[in-house]
Amino acid sequence: MKHDVIIDNTLLHIGESNRKGYLCHAYCHDGTCTFSFNGKQYVMRTGIA
């Protein structure tokens, strides 16, 4: 069981082997954030869940 918390300002390391077993939360504070994960593109916008 992991008890560590990793805080980062980038999504670049999500999916790497040293992150196995972790749950990722991403929050867009302002504007828009576009990223791709597992070949799918996502767009996050401020205030939109």
pLDDT digits (tens, 9 = 90+) for 10-43: 878 888 888 888 888 888 888 998 888 789 999 9
Neighbours of 11 (CB within 10 A): 15
User: Per the structure block, which two tokens stand in for 25?
Assistant: 């939360």
Is this structure's pTM higher than 0.85?
no
Q: What is the pLDDT of residue 11?
A: 79
Q: What is the pLDDT of residue 40?
A: 92
Q: What is the pLDDT of residue 41?
A: 93
Q: Which residues contact 14 (CB under 8 A, 6 or more apart)?
A: 24, 37
Neighbours of 19 (CB within 10 A): 13
Cα dihedral sign, 26-4-20-8: positive
Q: What is the pLDDT of residue 49?
A: 56
**Taking the domains of the chain in order of start, what are their residue ranges?**
1-49
Is 60 exceeded by the pLDDT of residue 3?
A: yes
**DSSP letter (8 states) at residue 36:** E
